[in-house]
Structure 1
Amino acid sequence: MDQIHMLLVEDNPGDVLLTKEALRDSKIRNNMTVVGTGEMALDFLYRRGDYEEASPVDLILLDLNLPGVDGYEVLEIIKQDETLRRVPVVVLTSSAAEADRLKSYNLHANCFVTKPLGAEAFFSIVRQIEQFWLNIVGLPPR
């Protein structure tokens, strides 16, 4: 792939900024779309409303704690959809609870990552996610 399109589903502006900063110097060209609610994520993925011209995504970074439709609901809908289920979903959340991890994997999340405290640790985690998903494994075709 010449360019990777990521969807970041995150309602915390600070975490959005840190994620963008961590990926800014990426060796892989990436285009990141950011949405702040589960409803917006689903509209984007299904190209509804303001997102009719949305591009297909190669990787989704999904927070669980979202207003309205939460990350679990988004994950469940994605993984039940014939065309979206192949898109890797990285749950990137502040929760370290075993119950959240188990529920995410039961809904077929591709991985579960707890956001660390502190900017440098957060940068490191996001860069490791990038390294793994964009440099090591092969993403499914669009």
Structure 2
Amino acid sequence: MVGGKSHDSGDSPYDILLVEDNPGDVRLLQEAMRDTQIESTIHVVTDGAAALEFVHQEEDYEVVPSPDLMLLDLNLPQTDGIDVLCELDECGLTYMPVIVLSSSSADEDIRQAYECGANAYLSKPLDPTEFVRLVQSITQFWFSSAQLPSLESSGD
């Protein structure tokens, strides 16, 4: 159960915020999610500034749902992924799991991501089949195994 939703109870689909500026990676992730048994809605933003507006429900995102999971690229236009993580941490939005999916495997990026509150840091596989498997394992874990507080108890 994530974000107060239980998949078996017939509640609405899980809301995943994908912060990714590479259209190919967006397409691969969407295809991977179609193959899972988990009902979800994927919301895509292509830069860090839009990601922050989405989670704060500002500007064009005033009526969007609170994400149950964020998949975050680091190398983004405008506001990069590390800045997004640090802002989420500073604003107390740590109840939302954030998984960094990055092409970078630099120790400094990994360290900074965890320092700013990432729940996991995963390097994007180059092979599309491996990428699909990775996405499926992420969603299976977070939506079938992990237990997180409901949004009602997060002060939201």
TM-score of the superposed pair, with normalisation by structure 2: 0.87
Size of the alignment, in residue pairs?
141
The DSSP-based 3-state class of the residue aligned with 1:28 is: coil
Equivalent-residue separation in structure 1 for 2:102 and 2:143 (angstroms): 20
In the TM superposition, what is the alpha-carbon distance from 1:90 to its structure 2 partner? 0.2
- Structure 1 runs, 4 residues or longer, greater than 4 Å off: none
Q: Extract unaligned runs of 5+ from structure 2.
A: 6-10, 152-156
Quote the Cα distance in structure 2 between the aligned partners of 1:55 and 1:85: 16
1:42 aligns with 2:38: no
Greater RCO structure (CA 8 Å; 6+ sep): 2
| Alignment map for 1:18-33 (pairs within 5 Å) | 18-33=28-43
Taking the aligned partners of 2:25 and 2:103, their CA distance within structure 1 comes to 10
RMSD in angstroms over aligned alpha carbons? 1.0
Provide the residue aligned with 1:105 in structure 2.
114
Between the aligned partners of 1:97 and 1:34, the Cα distance in structure 2 is 25
Give the structure 2 partner of residue 90 of structure 1.
Answer: 99
Q: Does 1:4 align with 2:14?
A: yes
Provide the C-alpha distance between the structure 1 equivalents of 2:149 and 2:19, rounded to a whole number of angstroms: 20
For 2:154, the equivalent position in structure 1 comes to none
Structure 1 alignment gaps of length 5 or more: none
| 2:142 aligned partner | 133
1:46, distance to aligned residue in structure 2 (A): 1.0
Output one character per residue of 1:24-67: Cα deviation in whole Å (capped at 9) or x when no partner.
12212111100000011011111111111111111100000001
Give the 3-state SS of the residue equivalent to 1:69 in structure 2.
coil
Is 1:17 the equivalent of 2:30? Answer: no
SS at match of 1:105: helix
Contact 1:86 1:140 in 2 (8 A): yes
Give 1:76 shift. 0.4
Q: Does the 8 Å contact 1:9/1:34 carry over to 2?
A: yes
What's the secondary structure of 1:72's corresponding residue? Answer: helix
| Whole-angstrom CA distance in 2 between matches of 1:51 and 1:78 | 16
TM-score relative to the length of structure 1: 0.95
Give the partner amino acid of 1:47: Q
